[in-house]
Amino acid sequence: MTTGALRIGTRGSPLALVQTAMVEARLREAHPDLIIERVIIKTSGDWKPSDGETRLSEVDGGKGMFAHEIERAMLAGEIDCGVHSMKDMASFLPEGLALDHVLERSDPRDAFICSDFSSLKDLPHGAVVGTCSLRRQAFLLQQRPDLKIEPIRGNVQTRLDKLNAGQYAATLLAMAGLKRLGLAGDYIHALSIDDMLPACGQAIVAIETRSDDRKTRSIFDPIHHAETGFCAKIERAALQVLDGSCHTPIGAHARMEGGKMRFDLIVSSGDGTRVYKDSDIAIITNDKEAEDFGRKIAQRLKPSVPADIFS
């Protein structure tokens, strides 16, 4: 940031705009005189067609595609920062960028979305469930190998519309996104974290900046939620060890329990038939400890996972 307004880059989807508004509101509380300019950027994920859909992995096939153009604009000096859903971020950032500021984490659970049935076990044999997430696919097939998993694309409302049109019997969505959009109803059935481990960074709104832009980075210091930041560092460090660029279903969730940080990590085969888990607790007081903790658990788990799962 040089002088003038703080230029915030964001996608133009309804959820992205809500999350950007959350960041802007917190900034105005911390800096009443700050001038903010919102810059809407169309990303690769927004350009993908919603018909003739192809499956996207929960990692770089589906992740970085929602951030690349925002990151390019940041590195080119066209914007000062970008607001993202942390779970959409690639495992490794482009050189020169940093992801060190987050808002407090919202509801990290996934939700089973279905109007006719309240649980996965109640779906008819061979029912079609829509998801592009390999993590969610693995969970579904682990519980119900008879289900037919089909890709579903589009923003939250588009996916709900496809569900209502009868294209799918059910789908899975993030509770945080549903809540932020003000969506509620008896068709939303939250799944416990113990039953379905969230994606890395799920429910976290993240602010990305240029590493060398100290002025912009300092503006976000007052709104940074430290505990959520530790969780993000743990989860992303583990994903990097597990080579998050591969097409592998990975669940990772850190949370504070009784003054200590608990971290659960799971790796699965795409069909859900092979599942590998690890977990531990630690006292975390800074970012380095958080990253070391995440790496330790991932390094401990990785040797037990067959190589073909990472291919």
Q: Which residues of 88-126 are buried (b: 16+ CB within 10 A; e: fewer)?
A: bbbbebeeebebbbbbbbbbbbbbbbbeebeebeebeee
- State the DSSP code for 124: P
3-state secondary structure 213-228: CHHHHHHHHHHCCHHH
For helices 14-30 and 156-164, give the axis angle rounded to 10 degrees. 150
Could you give phi then psi for residue 7, rounded to 5 degrees?
Answer: -95, 115
Q: Which of 84, 87, 83 is nearest to 56 (CA)?
A: 87
Collapsing DSSP states into helix, strand and coil, what is residue 22?
helix
Instruction: Tell me, yes or no, if 88 is annotated catalytic.
Output: yes
Q: How far apart are CA 33 and CA 12, in angstroms?
A: 25
Alpha helices of 153-276 — where are they, by DSSP H?
156-164, 175-180, 214-220, 226-241
Q: Which of 252, 267, 250, 261 is nearest to 293 (CA)?
A: 261
Q: Tokens 């992801």 map to which residue? A: 99
The two tokens of residue 261 are: 């940080």
Q: Which of 232, 272, 267, 273 is nearest to 253 (CA)?
A: 232
Selected catalytic residue, list 33, 51, 80, 88: 88
Give the residue numbers annotated as catalytic, written as ranges.
88
